[in-house]
Amino acid sequence: MISMQTPTLADGYAVHQLIQSCPPLDVNSAYCNLLQSGHFAKTSILAKANDQCVGFISGYVKPDDAHTLFIWQVAVNASARGKGLAGKMLDGLLQRPSLQSVKYLETTITADNQASWALFTRLSHRLEARLNKIDYLDQDTHFNGDHDSESLVRIGPFEI
């Protein structure tokens, strides 16, 4: 059985290991994942099975827009894929009372990340909200050619 919970600082290193096991996700430092699990716990969600970290979504409310939750990363261990876990984690996160003022969700996605496109398209349908995308982070301008370009995806407005 998979349980979903608010991460704690103590979960940070397990989150780091999970993300390492989920290519093509960008691997951040363990320190970053510790901060996500501590400082951004209220806007992140952790899924565990048999006390093992099998899913994690990191996010934050944008500093200049209290109505928008930005989703940084979605990671699901291979053992938990194909069960709708990422969608359930997103739904659980958006239903938190502390996020009741959120009316929009944003994320960035590379053109070839079909799993993320499918996840966020399904979310927009469940929320009955519009999904818009614009070019955002350019491979050459922003990543010096070291990373694929990313589109900014915005879903909303929605009511939970």
- Please give the radius of gyration of the chain, using alpha carbons only, rounded to the nearest integer: 15
Partners of residue 57 on adjacent β-strands: 45, 74
How far out from the chain centre does Cα 65 lie?
18
Q: What is the pLDDT along the chain (160 residues), one digit of tens a residue?
A: 899 999 999 999 999 999 999 988 889 999 999 999 999 999 999 999 999 999 999 999 999 999 999 999 999 999 999 999 999 999 999 999 999 999 999 999 999 999 999 999 999 999 999 999 999 987 888 888 888 889 999 999 999 8
- What pLDDT sits at residue 148? 83
> H or E segment at 57?
strand 52-61
Instruction: Find out whether 65 and 102 touch, Cβ atoms under 8 Å.
Output: no
Strand pairing partners for 135? 151
* Total-model pTM: 0.94
Our CA angle for 9, 14, 16, nearest 5°, is: 95
Query: How far, in Å, CA of 119 to CA of 67, rounded?
Result: 21
Q: Give the integer Cα–Cα distance in Å for 39 and 64.
A: 18
Which CATH superfamily groups domain 2-155?
Answer: Gcn5-related N-acetyltransferase (GNAT) (3.40.630.30)
DSSP H or E stretch at residue 137: strand 131-137
What residue spans define the domains of the chain?
Answer: 2-155
Q: Give the pLDDT confidence score for residue 137 in this predicted structure.
A: 83
pLDDT for residue 23: 87
